[in-house]
Structure 1
Amino acid sequence: MSEAPDDPDGSDGSDGRVVVVTGGSAGIGRAAAVAFAAAGLRVVIAARSEERGAEAEREIRARGGEARFVRCDVTSPGQVRDLFARTVELYGRVDHAFNNAGVPGDGRLADLTTEDFDRAFAVNTRGLWLCLREELRLMSAQGGGGSIVNNTSVHGLRTVFPGIGAYVASKHAAVALTRMAAVEHAHEGIRVNAVAPGPVESDMLAASEAAVGGATTWRGLIPSGEIGTPDQVCDVALWLFSPASSYVNGQVIGVDGGFLAT
């Protein structure tokens, strides 16, 4: 039996809008969940880790925000369907989504195993599509409207380093999915955009040290010489959720200290 939506009029102090954040238990995703809740949105945190997801929920609620954790592996169609069904049970609707779940894909193309290649696409491309499919269906059924932001990468617009071919290819595909979804649903008032972060302080950046030189290499490529922060990415996503960006659709916005301009 479905639960009645919690406080649908936003009297809990939220503005009533609902956002789903995939990969929301760590890194950019966790920072986004915290930032969105601080901005007044009701946040559904989706991630595979029960422990870290529950921690993220507690952190937000301790700060006075509204958040729920729902365990979800975005590579599973059933779990993705359940995530959005649960969101509707909790809050009655979905207004925004930040499709952030992602994995690296290190290794030169000639050296990759089939499993490594498939894993990058299973999460970064197919998982993104599975989430987009549910989000677009729900927003359409609600009468249209809504804003979706996909977390891609500068690697989805430009081949930066050798040795991460599966990741680069999967992120190029994510950019294509963003643009197609925007074109197909613009007539319903549903906007689909993407952020394309450059190097951002995260476990993934630290882990890239061995493969591509990590932050040290990146500082030589960024005009500002600075490594970004998760909050800088979240600020752009929040703007894309807002009416201030109402005529922005199908765009991939670099959050990269000027790297894509070089």
Structure 2
Amino acid sequence: MVSEQRRIVVVGAGSGIGAATAAHFHERGDHVLAVDLRPNDTPAAQHETVDLREADSIAELLGRIGPDWDALAYVAGVPGTAPAADVLRVNYLGMRLFTTGMLPLLRHGGSIVTVASVAALGWEQRIADLTGLLDATDAATVEQWQAGQDPNYPVYSTSKQAAIIFAKRLAPSAWQKFGVRVNTVSPGPTETPILTDFEDSMGKEVLDAVKATIGRHATVADIVPVIAFLAGPESRWVNAQDIHVDGGFVAPMMVGAPIEL
């Protein structure tokens, strides 16, 4: 148990990393609001449903949950096997609307953590390409932007790249106006119910190669402690960062072959 109960909103709490995150805080003795598209039995003090594809659904929920929350963990996400519009509306636009809407409801010293992905690798080179998406604040504009993109570029990667860039852009203002930190966590392949969807969209041989390189896929137990750290006071001077939690498999892609020992 913690010495002082904290109030945590976990979005995407119905399964996978989100369910594990909600359970982690609940087991610590925190007051957890578990939010998902469908009712679920994730351990939490409160449960709410929301359709993250719909701005009105997000606004309605935020309008009635009240203030004085300590952290938001936005873990909701849909894989690249879903329709492109849903991928962008949940992974990017829904995240944008939920996080900005939560800012006035968070206490000074609070934290927002969004789960992105190592599939966003290369986001630094796509900032200009994603300008139209990053300027979009409604679903119609998001879909209009996507209609003009290369259909062969993975929309899941686009959604997570935009999520990381948005978080980094939001972080300075959120800190200065609300005293709230904003960070992202980028897991590698993780053993969750939607892993097979990622195998379908990214290629099972690709994920198997990742697994062979580092020995295994991640489990939710590997990811949740990093989310919890960024959501807590121990990380009070960490802001505008994207933390890879991938067992180290991405690093050689960025800096070259590993040093042989």
TM tier, smaller: 0.7 to 0.9
Q: Give the match for residue 149 of structure 1.
A: 113
Residues in 2 aligned to 1:31 and 1:14: alpha-carbon distance in whole angstroms: 22
1:73 aligns with 2:51: yes
> How large is the Cα RMSD of the aligned pairs?
2.3
Residues in 2 aligned to 1:94 and 1:208: alpha-carbon distance in whole angstroms: 33
TM superposition shift of 1:100: 1.0
Q: Give the match for residue 154 of structure 2.
A: 165
Identity, % of aligned positions: 32
Match of 2:200 among 204, 210, 229: 210
The one-letter amino acid of 1:27's match is G
Unmatched runs of 5 consecutive residues or more in structure 1: 1-11, 61-65, 108-115
TM superposition shift of 1:103: 0.7
Change in Cα spacing, 1:171 to 1:157, as seen in structure 2 (3 Å) is: same
Residues in 2 aligned to 1:210 and 1:101: alpha-carbon distance in whole angstroms: 19
Q: Give the match for residue 185 of structure 2.
A: 195
TM superposition shift of 1:14: 7.8
TM superposition shift of 1:23: 1.0
Residues in 2 aligned to 1:207 and 1:129: alpha-carbon distance in whole angstroms: 24
Contact map agreement 1:106 1:165 (CA 8 A) in 2: no
Q: Give the match for residue 3 of structure 1.
A: none
Q: Give the match for residue 221 of structure 1.
A: 210
Q: Give the match for residue 26 of structure 1.
A: 15
TM superposition shift of 1:77: 2.1
Q: What's the TM-score once normalised by structure 2's chain length?
A: 0.78
Residues in 2 aligned to 1:153 and 1:217: alpha-carbon distance in whole angstroms: 15
1:96 aligns with 2:74: no
Contact map agreement 1:106 1:163 (CA 8 A) in 2: no
TM superposition shift of 1:185: 1.5
Residues in 1 aligned to 2:203 and 2:58: alpha-carbon distance in whole angstroms: 35
The one-character-per-residue Cα deviations of 1:193-214 (angstroms, maximum 9, x if unpaired) are: 0100100001221223333333
The one-character-per-residue Cα deviations of 1:197-246 (angstroms, maximum 9, x if unpaired) are: 100001221223333333x5324235422100112111001111222211
The one-letter amino acid of 2:118's match is V
Q: Give the match for residue 130 of structure 1.
A: 97
TM superposition shift of 1:163: 6.3
The one-character-per-residue Cα deviations of 1:99-129 (angstroms, maximum 9, x if unpaired) are: 111111249xxxxxxxx32221111110001
Unmatched runs of 5 consecutive residues or more in structure 2: 124-150, 253-261
Contact map agreement 1:152 1:171 (CA 8 A) in 2: yes
Q: Give the match for residue 36 of structure 1.
A: 25
Q: What's the TM-score once normalised by structure 1's chain length?
A: 0.78
Change in Cα spacing, 1:165 to 1:186, as seen in structure 2 (3 Å) is: same
